[in-house]
Amino acid sequence: MSPYAQKPPRLTPAARYALCACVLVAQGMVAAVNLLIPQLAASALHPSSSELLWSVDAYVIVFAGLLIPAGALGDRFGRKGALLTGLGLFAAGAATSALATVPAVLIAGRGVCGAGAALIMPATMSLLITLTPPARRSQALATWTLAAGLGGLAGNVGGGLAGQFSTWRALFWAMVPLAALLALAVARLTPRSPERTDSAPDPLGSLLLVAALTALVYGIIEGPPQGWGSARVLTAFGLGAVLLTVFTVHGLRAAKPLLDPRVFASPVLRAGTLGIATAFFGLFALFYVNSQYLQYVKGFPVGLAGVAIVPLTVGMAVMPKFGARWMDRYGIRPVAGGGLAVIGLGLLLVSTADGSTPYALYAVYLLVISAGTGLCAPALTVAVVAGLPAHRSGLGSGLNTAAREIGAALGVAVVGTVLASRAGGTGAARAAAFAPAMADGLRVVAAVLLVATVFVVLGTSGRPRGAAEEAGSGEAAEAGSVTRTGVPT
């Protein structure tokens, strides 16, 4: 090679910080709105219980459904352009929500924000991987993962501060200049990465998945007000089932489908995907009720309620290293099953909380859930990757993220539906009925989680030696490759 040949572009530290800030903001908006549910419920929008649920789930459903095709668009047409487009959509959606005078506009804005987040997340990871030297890629991935994890904490604190010192609209307005500043930083600091012309977005598969999820969540949310046997709810569930069937058939026949259903022939992969969805099903159900419990029942101001979630981050930060060590020693099954069972136990403990429960004891309950989440996370991730050959490990990461968001959407829908049926009304009436309704909702979520845990345990077995070794041997050979999901293969 000529000594005058152009060197591949590399990321500066400032560019890495800008990319991680984009990740933190996109993840933070998943959690931030939960802090403002009481304020939204009492606002001039006068949203129904169903509309409050959609204000949370619209973001997550669109995010989950478009995540993989958005990564493919970035791979094919340019990741930097995809990231800038995502930030633009994010700002537009936030402005739409901030200007909302009716709940439908608020929900529509949240959906647009979710589409922006779907472009932001895979593009940031792709840029970090392709523009970082191979020897430092693991460190870059760790930084990206940390930013995604801190996003939940930042969202809770940011949402709490917005509600404490202003109104819910301030949170959305703050996202507009923030997204603009991040776009300017990305445009000036981040070089373009090589494109991959073989990536295919599969728009039909994406449309089918988003439509199926929307129909199923609609059926869950509208069950209490419409009646579980009503024509509208039964039609929603039936339509969701039909669309999932069509999505599966399309995946079997398409040349480059969004998701090939044949990957689920691996029982370990099925169990790992179910386990990830189950963990976030429980976790986001907790997120939805936590801030309302602290404000309605304990009387915390919204800013303090945002900070009070901090104990939930402790186990997530500390336990993964122990989970990885125990998985190497004992295998996937006991660590994944044990961690999920601990989450279920923690949810049952939280369900006992009422107005007389000291916050210190409530914080211990949060620590239990946090420990379970941190314990099972490495094992479940390895279960997904171990169920795939090394050259398809990028698909494993895409499944991991999509399962997480789908589980989150369903968790919010289920616990919110129970709350709506038992703690309707507003103001003092809602506050008085909230603790018993929260107890019922979390017990339903815990029961579903523990039943799913049985299937996860049955599907996982032994140590992932062969798959892990294959993945390890393939890593060096394909270190420079990035899949449609925006992750290394």
Give pLDDT, residue 461: 65
- Looking at the domain assignment, is residue 4 inside a domain? no
Give pLDDT, residue 473: 39
> 152: domain CATH number?
1.20.1250.20
- Looking at the domain assignment, is residue 171 inside a domain? yes
- Looking at the domain assignment, is residue 1 inside a domain? no
Same domain, 231 and 293: no
Q: Which of 174, 196, 218 is the last residue of a domain?
A: 196
Both tokens assigned to 386:
């171990």
Give pLDDT, residue 312: 84
Give pLDDT, residue 389: 63
Same domain, 156 and 248: no
Give pLDDT, residue 196: 56
- Candidates 53, 449, 103, 112; CA nearest to 287 is 53
Same domain, 273 and 156: no
Same domain, 222 and 354: no
Give pLDDT, residue 69: 79
- DSSP codes of every residue in 171-199: HHHHHHHHHHHHHHHHHHHPPP----TT-
The tally of domains found in the chain comes to 3
- Looking at the domain assignment, is residue 2 inside a domain? no
Amino acid at 241: A
Give pLDDT, residue 241: 93
Same domain, 151 and 38: yes
Same domain, 166 and 209: no
- Looking at the domain assignment, is residue 53 inside a domain? yes
Counts for the chain of helices (H) and strands (E), in that order:
17, 0
- Candidates 46, 52, 104; CA nearest to 417 is 52
- Looking at the domain assignment, is residue 5 inside a domain? no
Give pLDDT, residue 314: 83
| Phi, psi for 482 (deg, rounded to 5) | -130, 130
Q: Give pLDDT tens digits for 61-84.
A: 888 878 877 877 777 778 889 899
Each of the 489 residues of the chain gets a pLDDT tens digit; together they read 444 445 557 778 888 889 989 989 998 888 788 888 888 888 889 888 888 888 888 898 888 878 877 877 777 778 889 899 999 999 999 999 999 999 999 999 999 999 999 899 888 887 887 787 877 766 776 677 678 777 877 888 888 888 888 888 999 999 999 999 999 999 998 888 765 555 566 788 888 888 888 888 888 888 777 777 888 889 999 999 999 999 999 988 888 787 788 878 888 888 888 998 999 899 889 988 998 899 889 989 988 988 888 888 888 778 888 888 888 888 888 989 999 999 999 999 999 999 899 999 999 999 999 999 888 888 887 787 666 665 455 555 667 778 888 888 888 888 888 888 776 655 566 667 888 999 999 999 999 999 999 999 988 764 444 444 444 434 333 333 333 333 333
Per the CB < 8 A criterion, the answer to whether 323 and 173 are in contact is no
- On the 0-12 / 13-18 / 19+ scale of CB atoms within 10 A, 405 is buried
Same domain, 395 and 302: yes
User: How distant is the alpha carbon of residue 465 from its chain centre?
Assistant: 29
- Candidates 380, 266, 254, 388; CA nearest to 323 is 380
Q: Which of 255, 279, 294 is the last residue of a domain?
A: 255
Same domain, 119 and 143: yes
- Looking at the domain assignment, is residue 134 inside a domain? yes
Torsion 165-171-176-179 (CA) sign: positive
**How many residues belong to the chain?**
489
Same domain, 153 and 80: yes
Same domain, 192 and 210: no
Give pLDDT, residue 361: 96
Per the CB < 8 A criterion, the answer to whether 11 and 190 are in contact is yes
Give pLDDT, residue 349: 96
Give pLDDT, residue 471: 40
| 24 Cβ contact list (under 8 Å, min separation 6) | 147, 148, 150, 151, 154
Q: Which of 255, 272, 299 is the last residue of a domain?
A: 255
DSSP H helices, 293-425, are 302-307, 311-330, 332-350, 359-386, 393-422
Give pLDDT, residue 106: 95
Same domain, 246 and 323: no
Domain that holds residue 163: 11-196
Same domain, 375 and 351: yes
- Looking at the domain assignment, is residue 308 inside a domain? yes
Give pLDDT, residue 60: 85
